[in-house]
Chain A
Amino acid sequence: MFSIERWQEIFEGLFKNKLRTVLTGVSVASGIFILVILLGAGNGIQNGIQKQFEQDAVNRISVWPGITQKEYNGLGIGREIQLHNSDYTTALTLLSDHIEYKSAVYSVWSGNMVFKKETGTYRVEGVHPDYQFIENASIVKGRFLNQSDIANYEKHVVIGQKVANDLFKGEEELLGQELSISGTIYKVIGVFTDPGGEREESRVYIPISTAQRAYSAGDKIRSIVFTLKRNADFDNAVAESHEFTQKLETFLRARHTIAPDDKGALHINNSLDQAKNIYIITGGVKAFFWFVGICTIIAGVVGVGNIMLIIVKERTKEIGIRKALGASPFSIISMILQEAVFITVVAGFSGLVFGLLVWEFVGPSIETDFFTRPEVDFNVAITTLVILVVAGAFAGFVPAYRAAKIRPIIALRGD
């Protein structure tokens, strides 16, 4: 198989029949090229969607109450459920093992904000310090809220980049400026950006204690948000987050006397579940692309097989001569097989490299939010190469078998 002499013999045949060799190669090269393009696109879509999810911590669980829709334990329909600080603290002590970041939220949808002559309406969220990490927000100036802000009911505010751009136009120093929110004066202590973009940057964060006091909410909270400790294995993470959600739900339903199957009274959003659905979808997209790509390769391989069959037919006489001169069937088989494998591998490899180059140079210019890093990784490239060798052998097998069956006496007759 690796005899130099045989390779020389094969190269001679290939080089002296250039057109045939090139035509054979093009079908395989285009097949692999299309596969690489499809796989790259699949990766691009997957990366894009993943990036959308990475904006918030992925294993995020949020709870907010609603209105009961079922009678339970003597209590009627239409009862409004209200969460309190104690729900949050009790849940924390109960589930502390799994929690990474936690925050209760008291939010006001439209807070009127005034800075000098600029005014605007933005969402105000009273939160705990961890909320920064739950939202994946990053501080560009100053700091985020801290524990002492909460404890001391400080009138401190961390504003989003959008708010800063809108209200503090032309101000050199934002920190320490006084911002009026719904008539109360707050001191700006930080500016944040959020990968979620403008929508999430049109917010301001104040300490939850301050918010509850400013909006006369007592110890009421609107929602509770947790993120769970990260788990390297996705399925484990999903299982863990399910378990966590179960416990949390059971606890809250018991505490507020809500029927276990009353969906309207208590909403729990588990982002990991959503993520999983998206992963399944992107997995499906990828599988589809693999399928189409493999089909393309099969078409290419059948093409090569077909061409090799014609070649064998065309070379019947040559093979007959070779056999008369002492070529064994094995040497004929390996000659045809090696030729087929060589053509598919070289052509396929050029298709692979060409596809990779296209993504390398064209990829960055067509990136969008839902289509990022459309690249084919090393493992996939290796996989395609293995597919190629197998495909080449496959394409060559039938023609080689035919060639081996050629009887010299028949091949040399009739001319």
Chain B
Amino acid sequence: MIEIKDLHKSYQMGKNSLHVLKGIDFTVKEGEFVSIMGSSGSGKSTLLNIIGILDEADSGTYTLDSVPIKNLNETIASRYRNKFLGFVFQSFNLINYKSALDNVALPLYYQGVGRKERMERSMYYLEKVGLANWAKHLPSEMSGGQKQRVAIARALAADPKVLLADEPTGALDTKTSYEVMELIQQINDEGKTVLIVTHESDIAEMTKRIVFLKDGQIESDKPVNQVRASEYV
């Protein structure tokens, strides 16, 4: 699903160049559930942004679902994001003046799906995350866990190949974190490829494979015995 070879990325900070990713080789197969860990500044978010086509690598190759991601213009990049990827962010990033249902429907809108079908499909995913009763509510009327579940429903709405989550539990308390992780585990159980960036080891333990990043390089990459979040809930 994801194939990355010798990926380099540096940022220009004034006169200094900051080498963030120093040759990453990384492969994710379909249906995998991977967490990327590392201290802050290790390059894990940068890696996720590159995988999410929100950022571009300086050198190296990146292939997503057999499509080479290289030198894309903004229009094509946005189309690929829409088609291949679903995003979940630490700060939810819902549009605050849109209801939960409209937020979930947004990726479908950009896919050109008609209004009626859009609403039906969005409702289906809201039900899936257990928020069907909250469809008409604005994000400001919801708790953090609910917002993140709306965000997950939105990420799934366009039926992407890969779900990318950047610190999805970073803004949530432990109990809510586990609820959200339980949901993500269910999604993975259904066969969706999931990539999570986190710095919390208990969250990482709930995935099936942990990749440690240190100073822009992969320090370790090993499968783990998945801890089911439901055990804690």
Excluding A318-B95, A326-B79, A326-B110, 6 further A-B contacts by CB distance (< 8 Å) are A5-B115, A16-B97, A325-B106, A325-B154, A329-B75, A404-B74
Our pick among B52, B81, B91, B158 for the contact of A415 (Cβ within 8 Å) is B91
Sampled A-B contacts (19; CB under 8 Å): A5-B114, A8-B115, A12-B97, A12-B98, A321-B106, A323-B81, A324-B81, A325-B81, A325-B106, A326-B81, A326-B110, A327-B78, A327-B110, A328-B110, A331-B110, A407-B54, A409-B49, A412-B54, A412-B93
Q: Let me know if B97 and A328 touch, CB within 8 A.
A: no
Cα distance, A399 to B83, chains bound together (Å): 28
The answer to whether residues A328 and B54 also contact, given A8-B115, A16-B97, A321-B93 and a CB cut-off of 8 A, is no
Cα distance, A118 to B109, chains bound together (Å): 92
Q: Let me know if A328 and B79 touch, CB within 8 A.
A: yes
B10 at the interface (CB under 8 A from A): no
Contact residues in A for B216 (Cβ distance below 8 Å): none
B107 at the interface (CB under 8 A from A): yes
Cα distance, A368 to B115, chains bound together (Å): 59
Q: Let me know if A326 and B154 touch, CB within 8 A.
A: no
B125 at the interface (CB under 8 A from A): no
Quick one: closest B residue to A318, CB to CB?
Answer: B95
Contact residues in A for B54 (Cβ distance below 8 Å): 324, 407-409, 412
Contact residues in A for B154 (Cβ distance below 8 Å): 325
Cα distance, A13 to B98, chains bound together (Å): 9
Q: Would you give the 0/1 interface string for A4-20, flagging 1 where the beta carbon is closer than 8 Å to chain B? A: 01001100110011000
Contact residues in B for A320 (Cβ distance below 8 Å): 93
Among B81, B95, B154, find the residue whose CB has the most chain A CB atoms closer than 10 A. B95
Our pick among B55, B107, B115 for the contact of A325 (Cβ within 8 Å) is B107
A330 at the interface (CB under 8 A from B): yes
Q: Quote the shortest CB–CB distance from B97 to chain A (angstroms).
A: 4
Q: Let me know if B83 and A326 touch, CB within 8 A.
A: yes
For residues 103 through 141 of chain B, which have their beta carbon under 8 Å from a beta carbon of chain A? 106-107, 109-111, 114-115
A317 at the interface (CB under 8 A from B): yes
Cα distance, A16 to B55, chains bound together (Å): 32
Q: Let me know if B75 and A328 touch, CB within 8 A.
A: yes
Interface size on B, residues (CB 8 A): 29
Our pick among A8, A12, A323, A409 for the contact of B78 (Cβ within 8 Å) is A323
The answer to whether residues A9 and B97 also contact, given A325-B81, A330-B75 and a CB cut-off of 8 A, is no
Cα distance, A324 to B53, chains bound together (Å): 9
Q: Quote the shortest CB–CB distance from B166 to chain A (angstroms).
A: 9
A322 at the interface (CB under 8 A from B): yes
For residues 48 through 105 of chain B, which have their beta carbon under 8 Å from a beta carbon of chain A? 49, 52, 54-55, 74-75, 78-79, 81-83, 87, 89, 91, 93-95, 97-98, 102
Cα distance, A26 to B107, chains bound together (Å): 34
Our pick among A12, A321, A331 for the contact of B102 (Cβ within 8 Å) is A12
Our pick among A5, A324, A331, A404 for the contact of B52 (Cβ within 8 Å) is A324
Quick one: closest B residue to A329, CB to CB?
Answer: B74
Quick one: closest A residue to B158, CB to CB?
Answer: A326
Contact residues in A for B98 (Cβ distance below 8 Å): 12, 16
Q: Let me know if B75 and A326 touch, CB within 8 A.
A: no
The answer to whether residues A322 and B106 also contact, given A328-B74, A329-B78 and a CB cut-off of 8 A, is yes
Q: Would you give the 0/1 interface string for A372-415, flagging 1 where the beta carbon is closer than 8 Å to chain B? A: 00000000000000000000000000000000100111001001
